[in-house]
């Protein structure tokens, strides 16, 4: 029988990288549009928009939008923007003459340069959530393997996990493809014990994917959640508090 595997998202579940998100998004914008005016401190609207960001390239685009005094974020407000988030992002890509591949490539180049120039400073922009590192390390002692499945680049995630002293049984970054497809591949090699995420739409997509309808899913309460994400969760998706996370897997909701 295949060994059991518990799968974790990374950003918003294991590590809080808000400072790094803004640092890298800002630097990427400055690379693409030299002279762009953006503050060094993370803007509050960037923090508020983070729960809607799915891919790294979107962070660069949002940073560019925040540089516009009369842009869509000012015209329609935060609530109006997130109500039609995808359409606003598509319109902004067309207006700036960018595409997701360019933004993702720029973001990863900026991160690679930062790691090479001062690895310690870059790592310090990330903070693991309290108790998470210790809990992940304890899973091994409990005989349960765990892995990381993230939309962040694999190499950057590996750097951060290594700095935290963590060694997952497997690590899949955005290079591995969409999360539901990766989970289906993992299910052929492991007995999946569940998937832990901080994006409700991702969990809903996973549960609606043929072959994953019965996969236990948990939405962490400490991640980058939208205001109503924890309400009225669909069957098979449970809200996971920090207190429950610290308990044995058998006691999770």
Phi, psi of 5 (to 5 degrees): -140, 130
Q: What is the separation, in whole angstroms, between the first and last Cα of the chain?
A: 25
pLDDT at 120: 93
Does residue 112 contact residue 153 with C-beta atoms inside 8 Å?
no
| pLDDT of amino acid 21 | 95
Given a cut of 90, whether residue 126 has pLDDT beyond it is: yes
Q: What is the pLDDT of residue 214?
A: 96
Helices (H), the chain: 18-32, 44-49, 56-66, 72-83, 85-96, 100-117, 119-123, 132-141, 154-163, 179-187, 200-207, 242-245
Beta-bridge partners for 102: none
- List domains and CATH numbers for the chain: 4-16+130-251 (3.40.50.1000), 18-123 (no CATH)
**Which tens digits make up the pLDDT trace of 158-180?**
999 999 999 999 999 999 999 99
Q: Which two tokens stand for residue 13?
A: 């579940």
Percent of the chain that is helix, strand, coil (3-state, to 5): 50, 15, 35
Q: Given this model, what pLDDT does residue 141 score?
A: 81
Judged against a pLDDT cut of 90, whether residue 83 lies above it is answered with yes
Q: Share the mean pLDDT of the chain.
A: 94
pLDDT tens-digit map of 38-47: 999 999 999 9
Q: What is the dihedral of CA 64, 68, 74, 79, to 10 degrees?
A: 0
For residues 190 and 158, what is the distance between their CA atoms, to the nearest angstrom?
21
pLDDT digits (tens, 9 = 90+) for 225-252: 999 999 999 999 999 999 999 999 999 9
């Amino acid at each position: 029988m295949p060994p059991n595997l518990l799968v974790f998202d990374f950003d918003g579940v294991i590590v809080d990288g808000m400072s790094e998100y803004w640092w890298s998004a800002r630097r990427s914008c400055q690379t693409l549009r030299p002279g762009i005016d953006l503050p060094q401190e993370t803007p509050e609207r960037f923090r508020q928009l983070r729960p809607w960001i799915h891919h790294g390239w979107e962070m660069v685009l949002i940073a560019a939008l925040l540089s516009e005094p009369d842009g869509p974020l000012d015209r329609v407000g935060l609530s109006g923007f997130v109500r039609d988030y995808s359409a606003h992002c598509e319109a902004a890509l067309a207006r700036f003459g960018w595409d997701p591949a360019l933004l993702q490539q720029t973001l990863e180049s900026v991160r690679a340069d930062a790691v090479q120039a001062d690895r310690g400073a870059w790592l310090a922009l990330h903070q693991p959530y309290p108790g998470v590192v210790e809990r992940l390390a304890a899973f091994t002692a409990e005989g349960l393997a765990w892995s990381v499945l993230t939309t962040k680049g694999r190499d950057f995630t590996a750097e951060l996990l290594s700095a935290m002293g963590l060694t997952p049984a497997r690590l899949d970054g955005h290079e591995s493809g969409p999360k539901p497809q990766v989970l289906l591949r993992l299910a052929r090699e492991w007995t999946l014990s569940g998937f832990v995420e901080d994006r409700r739409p991702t969990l809903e997509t996973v549960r609606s994917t043929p072959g994953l309808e019965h996969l236990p899913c948990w939405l962490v309460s400490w991640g980058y959640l939208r205001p109503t994400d924890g309400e009225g969760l669909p069957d098979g998706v449970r809200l996971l508090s920090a207190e429950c996370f610290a308990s044995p897997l058998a006691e999770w909701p």
